[in-house]
Structure 1
Amino acid sequence: MVAHVFYPGVGGVEITSDILARGFMRHGAEVSVITNTAKPDQTRDFPYEVIRRPSPRRLFALVRRADVVFHNNPAISLWWPLALLRKPWMVSLRMWVTMPGQKLTRIQRLKYAAKYRIIQRADVIVANSKVLADHVEGDVEVIPNSYRDELFSVLDDEVRAPLGIAYLGRLSEDKGVDLLIQAAAELVGDIEGFSLTIVGDGPERERLENLAGKSGLGTAVTFLGSQGPEEANRILNRNSIVVIPSRMPEPFGTVALEAAAAGCVVIYANHGGLPDAAGSQAVGFSPLDSKSLHSHLRALLSNPDDVFARRRDALTHANRHKENIMVDRYYAAIERTLKEAGRGRNR
């Protein structure tokens, strides 16, 4: 397995690489993970081999000994041995190659055109959402992300606030948390007793705290900073609604699954891969539109029966995305890669 980023990072590629590596081992595979991520100061033991920043000679030897090479998101800097060895190769798309509507210079267009051509050489391509599958040519199987089901679940010892709203994620401009604060401020005077809990940290935190202070939300809003997954799950269990207000189209949005598994209704910006991640029981609002978000928040908070029904359906949605389901589908794709190597694609 090739993962351009890995532990100690905590992003989607890093987490899914570990989940899939462990899952493939349960299927009886021998797994090695090759990554560009340097060895961290605080080491961690893995049940599989992790090779960090290999020399060209070692990278070539590792690819040569493999029965199949799996890129968990394309890592072009680690691809070159495949041009010489023509090993069975599978690629999983987890992030945009180019963002929708992204403006590119002539040099960038040439660079990304070459990257697309390299990806097209894979024997099997999978993507974690329909929109990612649609932005490359050819036959692409959609295998949605899973969530860490041992960490996110409904807890019997937490009391859920019926008017509790939460955000869980990075506090950066592209995540659109300012839209959520603006929408929540419009609820003041309409919905008595609601609360907004913001979990996460990032470069926009100070600006967002200032915005919240000026918005009239008062004690209704709380910033908790970054939290570990166990505490994040407890916070989700204390709330009824989770908002994902992303300005930029997310490739997927695993936080939607985590929220659903914790028994929350998700309101999401209706673009990118979020509709796939959130499910049909979730509520989409017009991206970049705080008034649309306010309207949907107000409607849900005013209708506890609707919230209860959607929370029940959210658990069903989460159960369809457990780790073992994703692992089994990926392993089936790995087996198909071995059978179809060299067929149907211009290698």
Structure 2
Amino acid sequence: MTRRHFITTASALVASSSFAAEPRLRIGQIGTTHSHAGGKMGAIRGLKEVWDVVGVTEPDTALHASVKESAIYQGLPILSEEQLLGTDGLKAVVVETRVDTSCAVAMRCVQEGKHIHLDKPGALGHAEFKAMRLEAEKRGLTVQMGYMLRYNPAFELLFKAVREGWLGEITEIDAAMGKLADAATRKDIGALPGGGIFELGCHVMDVIVTLMGRPTAVQPFSTPNGSDGVKDNQMAVLQYSKATAVVRCNHTDPFGGPRRRFNVTGTEGTLEIVPLESGKVNLSLKQARGSYKKGTQSIQMDVPKGRYDLEFVDLAKVVRGEKALAWDAAHDIALHETVLKAAGAWEKP
């Protein structure tokens, strides 16, 4: 594992920030239809000392009235994509369109020389995603994928534990990220060849690939619960030389949120995070590590109120040239391939 696979702690990101003394960075958003779109804009607008939001683009003109009425976008001009990308001093663009158009939008932003935050999973097709990601790398531009678990303090502890060898050699990973999908969500995931695990399970697969790299093989399973053909109950097994990672994504689970979990077991210990974004960690160690004792202990990490805030704190530091993003093109490309394979939607380019 390399240094680029692990980020600094959330507290360090905030503590070391010198944004108050720096001019604000100009940023815009293209698209309001991704499930994370409103939350991302709320996070950016909340970081007033960091970002200057110049406007928002919504390709679907039928949605302009609702965007104007939304408290999240209130007061922001609705611009065409050309107007937004042509804004003087624009440094970054947040891409929050539907996944079938998001990669093409991201490529246009890259070609205009902008850093981008691209929400997950990035693209339906791998060839398109790979081309965009490599083009950004060639131009020295950052593509920050919208995987919020990267910045969660519990996962930062996990990254540290694995990096420093607390758990020994990893032998198994068990992860689940489900929910009870309403009719609208079923329609949305039903339109995706990869179903629910492609749209939602990608979050935990990002963590797995961060920890373990590209798997040697991926086996997808789909056992739909409904009669509408939607891939609503899926599992994937990611194989490594001495480990397996099992990912479940069940969109028919009425207790999916509380059951979301991530468990890593190695030859020297186990670290479990459950529920996924709660900051609650169960850590078992064969020997004391740092401030943690031998044996089993439960830890409650402080989780920032803003789910996406630290993504955009980190992005600002990258745009200012203060650091490199911890996830490079090689990681993102390997992850996208893994997600497609896990969803049973892989077509070799």
Structure whose residues are more often helix by fraction: 1
Q: Give the TM interval when normalised to the shorter protein.
A: 0.3 to 0.5
Q: TM-score, normalised by structure 2?
A: 0.39
Structure whose residues are more often strand by fraction: 2
Q: TM-score, normalised by structure 1?
A: 0.39
